[in-house]
């Protein structure tokens, strides 16, 4: 069972479990991006959010990620 604070990699993004309830685990990845607006450049973070089953096997996700990268 997933727990709050766990981290895993999927599709090249590192997700962190934000919260877990009876039916899902809400996971968030933050991806830094340089943004320029009216000549001013700063770093913004794109948030990628997914909801997965609390019973998801992180070992399976890790195996899939390794096979995808090789």
Residues above pLDDT 70, as percent of the chain: 81
Q: Please tell me the number of Cα atoms within 13 Å of 18 on its side-chain side.
A: 12
Please state, in angstroms and rounded to a whole number, the distance separating the CA atoms of residues 62 and 52. 15
pTM for the complete prediction?
0.73
Residue 59 contacts residue 3 (beta carbons within 8 Å): no
User: Model confidence over 11-39: pLDDT tens digits?
Assistant: 889 999 999 999 999 999 999 999 999 99
Domain ranges of the chain: 7-69
């Amino acid at each position: 069972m997933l727990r709050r604070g766990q981290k895993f990699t999927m599709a090249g993004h590192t997700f962190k479990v934000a919260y877990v309830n009876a039916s899902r685990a809400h996971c968030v990845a933050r991806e830094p991006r340089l943004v320029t607006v009216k000549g001013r450049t700063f770093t913004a973070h794109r948030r990628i959010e997914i909801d997965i089953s609390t019973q998801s096997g992180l070992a399976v996700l890790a195996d899939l990620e390794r096979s995808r990268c090789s």
